[in-house]
Structure 1
Amino acid sequence: MTTLSAEAIAAYKDEGYLAPIRALPGDELVSLRDHVFRLGAARGGQLPPALNMKAHLLVPCLWDLVHDSRIVGPVVDLLGEDILCWGSSFFDKAPGSPHHVHWHQDSSYWGLERPDALTVWIAFTRSDTANGCLRVVPGSHREQLRHVNAGDPANMLSGGEVLAAKVDEDTVRDVVLAPGEMSIHHQRLIHGSRPNTGTERRMGFAIRYIAGDLKGLRNDRSYATLVHGRDLGGFEIEQAPCKDMDPDALRRHGTILRKFNNIIRREIARHQSEDTDAGA
């Protein structure tokens, strides 16, 4: 199992992210990427909408990826022995696409009782400044900040959120990744990405990992995948798909996403209510 050095762990605690970390060798990454691309071949190269959330529940090779010890090992070093995969999704930008990700913190609408969670972002293609790589604000992970609705259809975030405060561009770092490399960022780290103004497709796979003893803010019995250690009973444990887009897996996925989306909508409403009460 891949592990982090003491220096890397200290850097993560200080800055809220680590990058780049080699996750997969080139041949493995190409095989995995080509498999995913084939899933979108019948749709003009666009991935099926079902893969926007919890894609690992529908594609066996992605199920294997979220369990891969080369990825989970560093997560164990940062979150502890008991690890759940809370979610996964693709961020896919075609050249010239207006799609981007506003400045935000992942934790805004997750509805978890504390911030012992992180995102692993795996580059399926090269991710650089031209094609809209991840951008981060180091050290911005120490508190939860207010978000509002961006009202922007090109925003790739499912909750439509944007950080209410302005970000000082002088504090921003670009996270450039080669195919098969990954970054790790704390769920409260401020981050985003620009549109793809380059000539190459930019695709990344984001995996959301949480500490195994976490629960929802209101003891929600939502769903997660056990990837390391013990099932501590805070979530309904998800099942592996037997083949790509299997009908039984799609039915389970639909049930899981309804619960997931209900929690996100509830958290958005709760934040809006708090803003109203505060006169924001």
Structure 2
Amino acid sequence: MTMSATIETPVQPTLTPAQRELFKVDGFLIMRQLASAERLGAMRTAALEQASAHVAPIEYEADVAYPGAPASRDAEGGDTPRRLLQAYDRDPLFAEWAADARLSAIVAQLLDSDDVWLSRNHHNCVMTKSPRYSTATAWHKDLRYWSFETPRLVNAWLALGDETPANGCMRVLPGTHRMAFDADQMDADQFLREDRDDTTRLIETAIEAALAPGDVLFFDAGLLHAAGANTTEEHKLSVVTTYYGRDNAPVAGSRSARREPIHIREAHHA
């Protein structure tokens, strides 16, 4: 692992035309080692301590009722944290990362917007996968329950440790952010059905987004993605944030507008 040699600099990355085109076509882009070992260690320690102490607000494995999840919080493993919610307000470490100048510079280029806002209503969390009670997540688009004027949002998924198929790394279906799906291709909870020939063929195109500590997976909020359970003996931790640009805004009165966004990057006008 080369993470210990990573040094953060104030230089803001400029994406190549090829990288921007890749994101436009495939709906995702992985940028390697954007966070230093020192920052990762501090965030990982904070996340593990807060998960162990059950610092609210928290979503538990039992709350999501996915296949294989504990039946209730009182069942064995039912009090296993799945997400540490409200990361931006939870700890300055996570707030500083969410508003990081290099991170927001990449997001601004992907959104083609000099102004960038962080949503405090969606993601804005530390995703946790415990060694014993984590569950798999089926294929879905994050936009399914969100309410924005346009679907142009970008998620940033920071790996605080190694993310592999064994511990439930993200899987993505390239190009699906540009595809429209019929109602009968989705189940009642808006997960992609896996019992149809057309969706089965699509799932065969899946790519595993394996990440090293400090890597960031940027993906379109309309991209179909899934993740497996953690079958290892160590916790998997990821910081996940969602952004939108000047051409977008949450729909007034919706859940997406409940908390005020954070204007993390502002255009400089002459």
Match of 1:182 among 192, 211, 216: 216
Distance 1:167 1:225, change over 3 A: farther
Cα shift at 1:218: 5.3
The answer to whether the aligner puts 1:30 opposite 2:41 as a matched pair is yes
Q: Is the 8 A contact 1:37 1:47 kept in 2?
A: no
CA–CA distance in structure 1, aligned partners of residues 223 and 48 of structure 2: 30
The answer to whether the aligner puts 1:163 opposite 2:199 as a matched pair is no
RMSD (Å), alpha carbons: 2.2
The alignment covers a number of residue pairs equal to 218
Cα shift at 1:41: 3.3
Give the aligned residue type for 1:49: I
Q: Is the 8 A contact 1:115 1:188 kept in 2?
A: yes
CA–CA distance in structure 1, aligned partners of residues 116 and 250 of structure 2: 15
Which residue does the alignment assign to 2:262? 225
The answer to whether the aligner puts 1:104 opposite 2:115 as a matched pair is no
Distance 1:31 1:103, change over 3 A: same
Cα shift at 1:42: 2.5
Q: Point out the more displaced range, 14-23 or 129-138.
A: 14-23
Unmatched runs of 5 consecutive residues or more in structure 1: 151-160, 231-280
Distance 1:14 1:181, change over 3 A: same
Unmatched runs of 5 consecutive residues or more in structure 2: 1-11, 60-82
Distance 1:89 1:144, change over 3 A: farther
Q: Is the 8 A contact 1:137 1:191 kept in 2?
A: yes
Show the 5 A alignment for 1:138-149: 138-145=174-181, 146=183, 147-149=186-188
Instruction: Output the TM-score relative to the length of structure 2.
Output: 0.73
Cα shift at 1:112: 0.8
Q: Identity, % of aligned pairs?
A: 23
Instruction: Output the TM-score relative to the length of structure 1.
Output: 0.71
Cα shift at 1:118: 1.1
SS of the residue corresponding to residue 148 of structure 1 reads coil
Show the 5 A alignment for 1:43-62: 43=54, 49=58, 52-62=84-94
Distance 1:98 1:58, change over 3 A: closer
SS of the residue corresponding to residue 168 of structure 2 reads coil
SS of the residue corresponding to residue 76 of structure 1 reads helix
Give the aligned residue type for 1:15: D
Cα shift at 1:100: 1.9
Cα shift at 1:20: 4.0
- Deviation readout 1:219-264 (Å, 9 max, x if unpaired): 755421111116xxxxxxxxxxxxxxxxxxxxxxxxxxxxxxxxxx
CA–CA distance in structure 2, aligned partners of residues 47 and 23 of structure 1: 28
The answer to whether the aligner puts 1:8 opposite 2:50 as a matched pair is no
Q: Is the 8 A contact 1:107 1:188 kept in 2?
A: yes
Distance 1:123 1:129, change over 3 A: same
Give the aligned residue type for 1:6: P
Distance 1:53 1:212, change over 3 A: farther
Give the aligned residue type for 2:42: S
CA–CA distance in structure 1, aligned partners of residues 243 and 114 of structure 2: 12
Cα shift at 1:21: 2.8
CA–CA distance in structure 2, aligned partners of residues 108 and 185 of structure 1: 15
Q: Is the 8 A contact 1:40 1:48 kept in 2?
A: no
Which residue does the alignment assign to 2:118? 85
Which residue does the alignment assign to 1:206? 240
Cα shift at 1:56: 0.7
- Deviation readout 1:83-141 (Å, 9 max, x if unpaired): 11114122211113241211001111111111110110000121101000000001111
Which residue does the alignment assign to 2:156? 120
CA–CA distance in structure 1, aligned partners of residues 218 and 160 of structure 2: 15
CA–CA distance in structure 1, aligned partners of residues 90 and 39 of structure 2: 20
Q: Is the 8 A contact 1:108 1:144 kept in 2?
A: no
CA–CA distance in structure 2, aligned partners of residues 59 and 135 of structure 1: 28
Distance 1:4 1:213, change over 3 A: same
The answer to whether the aligner puts 1:133 opposite 2:169 as a matched pair is yes
The answer to whether the aligner puts 1:39 opposite 2:53 as a matched pair is no
- Deviation readout 1:137-166 (Å, 9 max, x if unpaired): 01111135344345xxxxxxxxxx412463
Give the aligned residue type for 1:32: M
